[in-house]
């Protein structure tokens, strides 16, 4: 049966949320409209669009190094990225190739036409996706994103219960992690996803922030903006349509505010109060207000303009100002030939914070300039210490999405004394455009752990250990997400 080449491609509805935040429930609700299609097979995680987007991102020059893998893991499968090989070469010696956006659109058009052979009335396609995809796709296709959030204390309890139910560790938890360690990992992912939501909305993306609690109790009103914007017809789920193997509570009501009824280590509560304090308040979750971070530069917050005086850029940096996108940094031309600067530095004055009280530094950035980030520090006026540890050099793929860089400071011997300044070094890894820009959204120092937060429970090592499906390597499991990790 021939397809109609003039038919509009399916409109993607992107569901992005941490594991145990309601993404499976959201997919079930989207599936109540027969015009919204996806593989109706539990755990509802067939990621066709993610595969296409990954290929288009690779075509653009992404290496996905920020997913914890070395370049060799990528190159052993596909070889050195040809876009990287082309960088800086004589244009007359290079092929004229399609733009990444054209590759993406063509593949998605073919997918949509094929799906409509047996589903001719379909208009929408739903998929669980990782947090960078809404921003990446928005320039090439009309999408709508649902960013799901849940009280992180309930998320913590639900993740641990689901790990125990299945008999192996997932959701970022490692065998040697304490409860506090796991809480810190969840808080990092939570903040990273929230920053991506805020940046996507600031750029004009069509999206809703959906709390699990509202979605579970009042699904139709909670999804009203999606319904009104794209015209999807969502209906309440019948009582027998829930997946019993996916639940860790007896009822919807029992899944809400579990942390008030079940025992939670105080160190876990302290992590969420410190790291996510402002986000919890914005999402209308209860906070104790007793725990604060040693230092936070939040260039998207209420005091963002006041923070400008605390930042100094290198000669080729212009600090334009702050907005909902963060501190805007424009990279100036490096020379008269028009070649762009390959590296910039920014110093953040820290008012003598005690380094012994700090364990980690998280830096959230967005924008097309970058690809490699380094961190150094000063306890005096001029001398900056630079660690030789690889943990202080982060590779990532720049773009309109946000990347949250996590620097572990606790094991660094020279991290001691009174902190005067942090220096962030960003270098461009792909091109040397004459003008480029990036945004610094936040810089956050986290408190060191003063006490042990409790040992991780022993879990039998099964074939699906570490939260990866059988046959899925860690590189592509981290890249696209797995049912037992990012979007369960």
Residue bearing tokens 């308040």: 281
Report which of residues 77 and 331 the model is more confident about: 331
The predicted structure's pLDDT at residue 468: 39
Q: Is the same domain home to 239 and 373? A: no
Tell me whether residue 405 is in a domain. Answer: yes
pLDDT at 176 over 70: yes
- CATH at residue 325: 2.60.120.260
- CATH at residue 215: 3.40.50.300
Average pLDDT over residues 393-415: 90
pLDDT at 333 over 70: no
State the average pLDDT for the chain.
83
Residue 428 sits in which domain range?
A: 295-447
The residues near 87 (Cβ < 8 Å, ≥ 6 apart) are 61, 430, 431
The predicted structure's pLDDT at residue 61: 85
Q: Which of 18, 17, 396 is nearest to 170 (CA)?
A: 18
> Interior CA angle at 486 toward 484 and 488, to 5°?
50
The pLDDT tens digits for 204-225 are 999 999 999 999 999 999 999 9
Helix H, strand E, coil C: the string for the chain is CCCCCCCCCCEEEEEEECCCCCHHHHHHHHCCCCCEECCCCCCCCCCHHHHHHHHHHHHHCCCCHHHCCCHHHHHHHHCCCHHHHHCCCCHHHCCCCCCHHHHHHHHHHHHHHHHCCCCCCCCEEEEECCCCHHHHHHCCCCCEEEEEECCHHHHHHHHHHHHHHHCCCCCCCCCCCCHHHHHHHHHHHHHHHHHHHHHHHHCCCCEEEEEHHHHHHCHHHHCHHHHHHHCCCCCCCCHHHCCHHHCCCCCCHHHCCHHHCCCCCHHHHHHHHHHCHHHHHHCCCCCCCCCCCCEEEECCCCCCHHHHHHEEECCCEEEEEEECCEEEEEECECCCCCCECCEEEEEEEEEEEEHHHEEEEEEEEEECCCEEEEEEEECCCCCCEECCCHHHEEECCCEEEEEEEEEECCCCCCCCCEEEEEEEEEEECCCCCCCEEEEEEEEEEEECCCCCCCCCCCCCCCCCHHHCCCCCCHHHHHHHCCCCCCCC
Tell me whether residue 267 is in a domain. Answer: no
Tell me whether residue 287 is in a domain. Answer: no
The pLDDT tens digits for 297-319 are 999 988 888 899 899 999 889 99
The predicted structure's pLDDT at residue 63: 81
Tell me whether residue 276 is in a domain. Answer: no
Q: Is the same domain home to 180 and 61? A: yes
pLDDT at 13 over 90: yes
Q: Is the same domain home to 128 and 223? A: yes
Structure tokens at 41: 């097979």
The residues near 80 (Cβ < 8 Å, ≥ 6 apart) are none
Q: Is the same domain home to 190 and 338? A: no
Q: Is the same domain home to 162 and 228? A: yes
Q: Is the same domain home to 163 and 311? A: no
Q: Is the same domain home to 39 and 154? A: yes
The predicted structure's pLDDT at residue 242: 59
Q: Is the same domain home to 85 and 130? A: yes
Q: Is the same domain home to 251 and 353? A: no
The predicted structure's pLDDT at residue 292: 73
Q: Any idea which of 191-205, 252-266, 343-357, 453-467 has the lowest mean pLDDT? A: 453-467
The predicted structure's pLDDT at residue 55: 92
Tell me whether residue 126 is in a domain. Answer: yes
How many domains, the chain?
2
The predicted structure's pLDDT at residue 163: 72
pLDDT level of residue 404 (50, 70, 90 thresholds): very high
pLDDT level of residue 366 (50, 70, 90 thresholds): very high
Most confident range, picked from 75-79, 135-139, 454-458: 135-139
The predicted structure's pLDDT at residue 382: 63
pLDDT level of residue 168 (50, 70, 90 thresholds): low
Tell me whether residue 66 is in a domain. Answer: yes
The pLDDT tens digits for 101-120 are 999 999 999 999 999 999 99
Report the share of the chain in percent with pLDDT over 70: 79
Q: Is the same domain home to 253 and 308? A: no
pLDDT at 65 over 80: no
Q: Is the same domain home to 257 and 396? A: no
The predicted structure's pLDDT at residue 108: 98
Average pLDDT over residues 458-466: 38
The pLDDT tens digits for 118-165 are 999 999 999 999 999 999 999 899 999 999 999 999 999 988 887 766
Tell me whether residue 304 is in a domain. Answer: yes
Tell me whether residue 272 is in a domain. Answer: no
pLDDT at 18 over 90: yes
The predicted structure's pLDDT at residue 422: 94
Q: Is the same domain home to 223 and 358? A: no
Q: Is the pTM of this model over 0.85?
A: yes
């Amino acid at each position: 049966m021939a397809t109609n080449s003039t038919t509009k491609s399916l409109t993607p509805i992107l569901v992005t949320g941490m594991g145990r935040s309601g993404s499976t429930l959201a997919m079930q609700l989207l599936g109540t409209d027969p015009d919204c299609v996806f593989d109706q097979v539990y755990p509802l995680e067939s990621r066709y669009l993610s595969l296409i987007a990954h290929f288009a991102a690779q075509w653009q020059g992404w290496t996905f190094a920020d997913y914890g893998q070395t370049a060799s893991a990528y190159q052993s499968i596909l070889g050195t990225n040809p876009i990287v090989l082309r960088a800086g070469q004589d244009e007359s010696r290079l092929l004229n190739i399609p733009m990444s956006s054209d590759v993406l659109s063509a593949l998605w058009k073919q997918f949509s036409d094929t799906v409509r052979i047996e589903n001719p009335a379909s208009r929408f396609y739903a998929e669980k996706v990782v947090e960078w995809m809404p921003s990446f796709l928005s320039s090439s296709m009309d999408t709508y994103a649902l960013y799901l959030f849940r009280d992180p204390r309930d998320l913590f309890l639900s993740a641990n219960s689901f790990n125990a139910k299945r008999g192996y560790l997932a959701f970022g938890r490692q065998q040697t992690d304490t409860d506090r360690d796991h809480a810190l990992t969840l808080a990092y992912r939570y903040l990273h996803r929230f920053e991506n939501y805020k940046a996507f909305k600031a750029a004009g993306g069509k999206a809703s922030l959906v709390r699990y609690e509202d979605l579970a109790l009042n699904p139709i009103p909670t999804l009203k903006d999606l319904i009104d914007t794209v015209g999807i017809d969502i209906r309440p789920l019948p009582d027998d349509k829930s997946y019993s193997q996916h639940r860790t509570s007896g009822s919807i009501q029992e899944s809400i505010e579990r942390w008030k009824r079940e025992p939670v280590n105080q160190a876990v509560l302290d992590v969420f109060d410190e790291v996510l304090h402002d986000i919890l308040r914005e999402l209308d979750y209860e906070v104790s207000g007793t725990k604060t971070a040693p230092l936070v530069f939040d260039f998207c917050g209420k005091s963002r303009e006041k923070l400008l005086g605390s930042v100094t850029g290198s000669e080729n940096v212009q600090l334009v100002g702050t907005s909902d996108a963060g501190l805007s940094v424009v990279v100036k031309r490096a020379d008269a030939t028009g070649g762009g600067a390959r590296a910039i530095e920014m110093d953040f004055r820290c008012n003598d914070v005690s380094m012994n009280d700090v364990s980690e530094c998280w830096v959230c950035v967005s924008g097309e300039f970058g690809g490699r980030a380094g961190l150094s520090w000063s306890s005096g006026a001029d001398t900056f210490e630079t660690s030789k540890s690889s943990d202080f050099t982060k590779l990532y793929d720049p773009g309109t999405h946000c990347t949250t860089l996590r620097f572990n400071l606790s094991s660094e011997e020279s991290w001691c004394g009174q902190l005067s300044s942090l220096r962030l070094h960003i270098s461009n890894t792909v091109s040397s455009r004459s003008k480029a820009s990036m945004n610094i959204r936040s810089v956050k120092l986290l408190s060191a752990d003063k006490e042990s937060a409790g040992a991780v429970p022993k879990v039998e090592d099964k074939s699906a250990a570490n939260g990866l499906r059988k046959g899925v390597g860690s590189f592509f499991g981290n890249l696209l997400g797995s049912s037992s990790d990012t979007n369960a």
